[in-house]
Amino acid sequence: MDKPFRRRDLLGIRDLSPAEITGILDTAETFREISNREVKKVPALRGKTVINLFFESSTRTRTSFEIAAKRLSADALNISVSASSLSKGETLLDTAMNLDAMAPDCIVVRHSSAGVPHQLAKVSKAAIVNAGDGANEHPTQALLDAMTIREHKGKVEGLEIAIVGDILHSRVARSNIHLMTKLGAKVRVAGPGTLVPLDFQHLVENGLTVSPNVEEAIRNADVVMILRIQRERQDSAYFPTLREYSIHYGLTNERLDLAKKDGIVLHPGPMNRGIEIASDVADSSRSLILDQVKYGVAVRMAVLYLSTGGSPTNN
């Protein structure tokens, strides 16, 4: 029998068992209602310190980690990388070890290079939580996506999930492919041939299909997950123009009509409206984009709580 999540670090979904994933989601469930209270605070992490160390821009992840820490009564602080001694030439590892010397309980890190959280975890006494490392993983995004799906579909197992767009550069896609297949979903990916990596073949036996086109991926899907075109990670032309991308791969109402009647739409944000997703789809009742953001707070409360020694809930 698998054990629930009792790790110090959350570095990715790839190494987690289904029981660990479910334990985090069940724990997030118990924290969810705190955000609906008039006084949105519980003492679970009183006396603990959480540092947000973000080397890439972020609206949702950094804010929700800070809110999550504060709702659990931890002291939360954001390091401004441009105003830190990194700008004077200090190395990333020296910066991390100096922060660690101040005895934080958890360091949440986002970096443009894959593997940075894993490096920090080797030298840090504090728990390290990966808030996105290059194109590798974004584990809390996949967890909040799973929580959104569970809330609306009651389960993940057996669902047909289409992940569409810039798969190659997407840490969200990688974490979601691992998480959704571990929980028993059938996952299909689709996008321009140049943006769908060939190294996914080893995941096929776990329930992943590479669809020949977007329509095939979306047909009969319970969940359509649209990914942002990551222009900041694209060093060459992967498709002719954004207009052509939008015509051939963008989620329109016509394409969404191919999904199940009660199929839902997810997007991790930030959205490029009119490119990977039409505005009327993004604003429709089938779009759960703001629910994803809402559940992000509960998931990050659970991750901070568990990484700093809390016991998982098992429903």
Footprint on this chain of ligand CP (rule: CB under 6 A): 58-61, 132, 141, 268-270
Least distance to ligand CP, CB of residue 83, Å: 20
- List, in order, residues 6 or more apart from 177 with CB less than 8 Å away: 163, 187, 189, 200, 203, 208
Closer residue to ligand CP, CB minimum distance, 106 or 144? 144
Least distance to ligand CP, CB of residue 166, Å: 14
Outline where 72-138 has alpha helix (H).
92-101, 116-123
Least distance to ligand CP, CB of residue 270, Å: 6
Q: Both tokens of residue 251? A: 């989620």
Sign of CA dihedral 299, 301, 303, 305: negative
Amino acid in position 107: I
> Angle at CA 258, nearest 5°, toward 254 and 264?
95
Closer residue to ligand CP, CB minimum distance, 263 or 268? 268
Cα separation, 253 vs 26, whole angstroms: 33
Least distance to ligand CP, CB of residue 234, Å: 16
Closer residue to ligand CP, CB minimum distance, 210 or 224? 224
Closer residue to ligand CP, CB minimum distance, 24 or 299? 299
Least distance to ligand CP, CB of residue 193, Å: 25
Q: Both tokens of residue 286? A: 């089938």
- List, in order, residues 6 or more apart from 122 with CB less than 8 Å away: none
Cα separation, 83 vs 275, whole angstroms: 34
Closer residue to ligand CP, CB minimum distance, 144 or 210? 144
Closer residue to ligand CP, CB minimum distance, 117 or 312? 117
Question: How much is the CA Rg of the chain, to the nearest whole Å?
Answer: 19
Spatial contact of 106 and 51, defined as CB atoms under 8 Å apart: yes
Closer residue to ligand CP, CB minimum distance, 210 or 299? 299
> Angle at CA 100, nearest 5°, toward 96 and 102?
130
Q: E-strand spans in the chain?
A: 49-54, 75-79, 106-111, 127-133, 160-164, 186-190, 208-210, 223-226, 264-266
Least distance to ligand CP, CB of residue 111, Å: 13
Least distance to ligand CP, CB of residue 168, Å: 17
Spatial contact of 302 and 260, defined as CB atoms under 8 Å apart: no
Closer residue to ligand CP, CB minimum distance, 31 or 65? 65
Least distance to ligand CP, CB of residue 269, Å: 5
